[in-house]
Amino acid sequence: MVVTLEVHNPTAFENAFRCRAITLTGTPLFLAHVRELADDKLCVVSPDTGGAKRAELFRQALEVACGRPVGKAFADKHRSSGVVSGDLFVGDVSESTALVIDDLISTAVPCCAPPKPRARLVRAE
């Protein structure tokens, strides 16, 4: 038997072995902890477009657990020759507790980089 925690792709993982494979998730524990932030406006953020699906599934579960809307946002991140770049951010996290949902944090460079000024997009009426 193989047991893991937070597999990136559970279906691929389970099909990779000819023995019983179990993948565990910490999502229920994290949801319970975040529910304690009941007075805060919440927003789930994916730090890259590749993790948007994972972040959206968590956001949906969080909405059900909290019984109220939870915002969403994502950033565009590129990694080339060890250099992380990207300055696109979509979503409104102002005055929110932003929960960054990612599969792996190896350097934390995108999380720790100083924020860049962003232009505010306004729809013309």
Q: For the domain that residue 21 is a member of, what is the CATH number?
A: 3.40.50
25-59 pLDDT, tens digit per residue, is 888 988 988 888 767 789 999 888 778 888 999 99
Query: CA 52 to CA 45: how far, in whole Å?
Result: 8
pLDDT greater at residue 123 or residue 111: 111
32: containing domain: 2-105
Which whole number is the average pLDDT over 91-117? Answer: 70
Q: Which of 64, 66, 41, 44 is nearest to 53 (CA)?
A: 44
Task: Kindly state whether residue 25 falls inside one of the protein's structural domains.
Answer: yes
Sequence-distant (≥ 6) Cβ neighbours of residue 66 within 8 angstroms:
34, 35, 38, 42
Q: How far is CA 78 from CA 24, 40, 82, 86, 115, in A?
A: 29, 31, 10, 6, 16
Are 7 and 24 contacting, i.e. CB atoms less than 8 angstroms apart? Answer: no
Task: Kindly state whether residue 27 falls inside one of the protein's structural domains.
Answer: yes
Domain count, the chain: 1
Task: Kindly state whether residue 114 falls inside one of the protein's structural domains.
Answer: no
